[in-house]
Each structure stands twice: as structure tokens, then as C-alpha cells.
Structure 1
Amino acid sequence: MGNICIIGPRAAGKTTYLAGLTYFSEYRGDRTHYSIQPLNDDARNLATTAKETILQGLPVDPTRLGDRIHTVEDLPYYSFQITVKGKLFQPKTTIQLNLRDYPGEVFEKILHASEEDSIHAEFINECLMNDVSGCLLLFTEWESSTDDFYSDLMSRFFTMMDERSRLSNYRLAIVMSKCERGEIWPGRLDPENDLFGVYLKNTLKTIKQSIPKQNVRFYAMSTFGVLGRYDPRPNRTDALGSDGRASTLRDPPRWKPYNLIEPLCWLNAAKI
């Protein structure tokens, strides 16, 4: 894997995901364990962010447009080397991961961007350039009222991919984030059918009709996880952040994320 994008609407948990991924420099889960080595200052700062915010019960500040961000070059750029070991007898996999953390409002503007919106144009051009192999796309809202919006947004995104001849050679790992929520936690094992197929039916239909099936896979993910195998309450509480709603870690000693690395492994292993 070379360059990928992590994109999604506001409050999808993109920055929190990256901070959590980096904090667990040696993580052993039920199915895989991995080690991650930050390769630049922005990536190393993410681990500090996790220690100083998430572990202290504070929300991670989202990446957002403002006084400091006017172009793509103003956004944090992260570089990691990730070593993944799967089940017994499976060989180790090394993933070189390079990405930017795009503000959610840039992604949402796909539907209504103007030609004068330079950062949106840069976002699309960089996201779909030839040396970007694909993206991790996080959704979080699953109420039926968001389904039409997501469906229209994805339809426009696929049109942009087609205009750049990327429909056949671009991988999409589509994720329902914050799956620790009690309403959707039971659907995490088959997110395509039990989450997207139940809550975002139009969005799922648009995706499956627009991109070759071998180039897309659906996941559920939780940066905070649940309190334990026999206590599936979310290890998350709601709080007020700089943009209104925010999430914080409920019980730091029992912090165990769910499925952080698996979408990256698929993006790395898929052959197009």
C-alpha cells in the first residue's frame, strides 16, 4: 500500500480513529495483532494526542477548516509503517501507510462545491489521483433521515471517479464507525447486510450499482470499543466538544478498540 485517503462526513471519528490506531503501538486483538511505527512528526504527535486527550477523558479536536487550513498542504500528513500478524501460521504483513486527515465538511461539499472552492478541488484531485490506491470511508449516522443524503453524496463521488477513470482501479473500504453503540453493535459481524442493508439501504444500493464488487468491502469499526466480552456496554460517553457533540473514553483501563486494522489489511492485500 502506498497512499490512501481517510474520508467521511463530520463527526465520523476520523481523527479519533487515527489517534487510537497510533496509540496502540503494540496491539493484540482477537483475530490479529499489529505494531505501528510513526515515520514523521505529524504521526508521532497523534500518539501524544491520544495520551493527553483520550486517556484523560477528553474529546479529540476534529480536523476542520479555519484560520490555519486553506489548502490541502495545510492539513496534517501522516506516515506509518504497520506490521500485522494474523492467525497461527499466517505470514506477517507490512503496510506502508501515507495519508491526510481531511475535514468532514470538505467531503460533504462534494454535492454543492463551487469552482471557487479551491480546497475542495484539491481534495478531489488528491483523493483520486493515480497513485492513490483507495480510501477508508467512514460513516457514522445511521438514522434513515441520512440515507438519501449519503446516497446522493456517494452518487456524485462515483461520477467524479468515473470522470477520472478510477471506477475500475480504486478500492473502497466502507466503514460504519462508532459501532460500539448498543443499537448497532450486534450487526458488526455482517455490516453489509445487518447495518448498511438495514439502516442505509439507498446508500448501499448506490454503492453496489456503481463500483465493481471486488473493489468494495464493508466493515464495522469502533475506536473506543465496549467494556468487555461479557459487558457490551459502549466504552464511550457523550460530551460537548469544540463543535458541539463529541465522544470520550468511559473507562481507560478497559480501552480495547474493535476492527481498527482489518480495513487497512484489505486495502493493502486487494489486487486490482
Structure 2
Amino acid sequence: MGNICIIGPRASGKTTYLAGLSYFDEYRGARSRYKIRPLNDDSRELTDKAENTILQGLSVDPTRLGDRIHTVDDLPYYSFQIEIQGGLFKPRSIVQLNVRDYPGEVFEKILHASEEDSIYEEFIDECLMDDVEGCLLLFTEWESSNDGFYSKLMNRFIEMMDERDRLNTYRLAVVMSKCERGEIWPGRLDPETDLFGVYLKKTLKTLKQRLPPQNLRFFAMSTFGVLGRYDPRPNRVDAYGSDGRASILRDPPRWKPYNLIEPLYWLNRP
């Protein structure tokens, strides 16, 4: 069994990613094949959300702090069984994934949380518990203007890991999400060098200097994917509603995610 947390700024695609993960129960990843089965009601509701929202050309509502969310226990909790298909040199294995979807406001407030912000303290305590394998960290605002903020934020998060004696036992899968964008799609094969090393240099340096190399890996991922092998246009368009910026599928019948499982598999490796 593997407990992980998924964190990232607002609009980084966390809830949409989980909906896509729940929907694609038969999935061919970048290097392996997987079967995914939702195990609880929250996870099954994500499957319905993918069918009735994403595939209908609508955007998934983000997870936000508000009237119904005051503590960590108010947040949805998802559980999946992931079967990794064995190959010539790989045995078949099964991973149980338990994950909570935190609002982006929680992540962004790490630097400046006050004593009145009890949910942020609960968030850190739960993220860094001894039975949590690690964290799937989604970045999406790859413009260099965000690099300084992300670097400071990650520096503080690593300090919190050290304060709880998790520095050497906590894995961090750092993901550039929404990599279907034309500007960054070519860099998906070597995201550490061609994405983080180009757009988020300070953040990359902070992470590599302060974390053990065996507990840190960089990935690129896209829930929406591109239109096809010979048509690398993003299968996503931006939409705007009452909640601000959102993303919807451009062509629902051609929905094919990229690299959804690989970061999870790495986080849950023996």
C-alpha cells in the first residue's frame, strides 16, 4: 500500500489529473501497461466526472477552500488499485494508491501561513506523516517569472521535511503538468534538463542541492495529451467561466493522456 499526497498551485490540473486517472482503467503508459481500479466512492465519482464533464467538453471544478472545507478531513480521499503488467524482465505487481487532493491555496500558502490557518498546519502534518511515501508535485506556470517564488516555497517545504526527520525517507516526484502545450511538448522526454533546466532553473537548483538524489525525480505529464502521433497540437483549449481560467478537451474522441502513471509507480517503488 502506498500513501502519497498530490500538491501544486491553483490551476495546475490536480483534480483533472485524478479524474483522468480514474477514467482510464486500461492504460498504456510511456513504458508499461497498467490496469487501474477505483476502490472507494470518491474515486468512482471521479470516473463519473470524467464521463459527464471532461468528455462533454466541460471543465472540472477545482478543489477550493470554502464553506464546506475547513479541515483536511473535509477534503475528498481517493483510493485506487494499480496493476502493473509484467513484461519480459518485469514481474506483474499491484500497487494500492491512497491520495488526498489538496486545494492550490494550501500549497501557495506554505511560505506565509499564520497560526490562524489551521488547515495549512494539518496539510503539512498529513503530507509528511511517516506512512506517506512521498509527494506528487505538479507545476504548470513554467514562465520564468514564477521561478523565484517556487524556489523559495520549495526551500521552505524541504525545511519542513527536515524538521519532521523526513529528509532522507521522503520521495518527491516533481512534474511539469499540461506538457501538451506546444512550447514544452518537445522537452517531455528529458524534463529535468529541457523543462526545469530551462524555465525553472532556481527551483531545480534548490531541489537538487537539498534533496538526496535517490529521492528526487522529474517528470512531464499531460492529462489531455495531444491530438495524435502525427498531429502534436494540444488536445486542450482554454476556457473561461465564473471561476476564471479552465481547460477543456478540444476533441473528446481523441482523448489520450501522456505519462499519468509513471510518477506514481516511481513513488511507490520498493
The answer (yes or no) to whether the contact 1:142–1:200 under 8 Å persists in 2 is: yes
- Can you list the C-alpha shifts for 1:209-241, whole angstroms capped at 9, x where unaligned? 111000000000000000001000000010014
Counting only pairs closer than 5 Å after superposition, residues 137-156 of structure 1 correspond to structure 2 as 137-156=137-156
Hey, what's the Cα distance between the residues in 2 that align with 1:128 and 1:164? Answer: 7
| Contact persistence 2:27–2:35 (CA under 8 A) | yes
Q: Which residue of 2 aligns with 1:263?
A: 263
Cα offset for 1:84? 1.5
- Matched residue, 1:116: 116
Q: Which residue number in structure 2 is paired with residue 41 of structure 1?
A: 41
Separation of aligned partners in 2, 1:174 and 1:57: 28
- 1:68 to 2:68 alignment: yes
Give SS of 2:35's match: strand
SS of equivalent residue, structure 1 residue 82? strand
- Indicate conservation of the 8 Å contact 1:61/1:241, yes or no: no
Question: Counterpart of 1:197?
Answer: 197
CA distance in 2, matches of 1:81, 1:30: 19
Q: Using the alignment, how far apart are the partners of 1:3 and 1:243 within structure 2?
A: 30
In structure 2, the residue corresponding to 1:136 is in which secondary structure?
Answer: strand
Kept after mapping to 2: 8 A contact 1:7/1:101: yes
User: Paired residue for 1:208?
Assistant: 208
Q: What 5-or-longer segments of structure 1 have no aligned partner?
A: none
Question: Which residue number in structure 1 is paired with residue 8 of structure 2?
Answer: 8
For residues 90-134 of structure 1, the C-alpha deviation after alignment (integer angstroms, 9 at most, x for no partner) is 222211100110000001100000011110010000000111110
Q: Deviations over 1:161-209 (max 9, x none)?
A: 1100110000000000000000000000000000000000000000001
TM-score, length of structure 2 as denominator length = 0.98
**Partner SS, residue 116 of structure 1:** coil
Per the alignment, residue 95 of structure 1 pairs with: 95
User: Are the aligned partners of 1:158 and 1:167 in contact in 2 as well (CA < 8 Å)?
Assistant: yes
Using the alignment, how far apart are the partners of 1:144 and 1:7 within structure 2?
A: 20
Q: Aligned partner of 1:32: which letter?
A: S
Q: Secondary structure at the match of 1:202?
A: helix
Contact residue 29 and residue 262 of structure 2 kept, 8 A: no
SS in 2 for 1:113: coil
**Partner residue, 1:220:** 220
Q: Deviations over 1:64-110 (max 9, x none)?
A: 00011000000000011111125444222211100110000001100
Q: Distance in 2 between matches of 1:171 and 1:31?
A: 21
Task: Return the TM-score normalized by structure 1.
Answer: 0.97
What secondary structure sits across from 1:115 in the alignment? coil
User: Which residue identity does 1:204 align to in structure 2?
Assistant: L
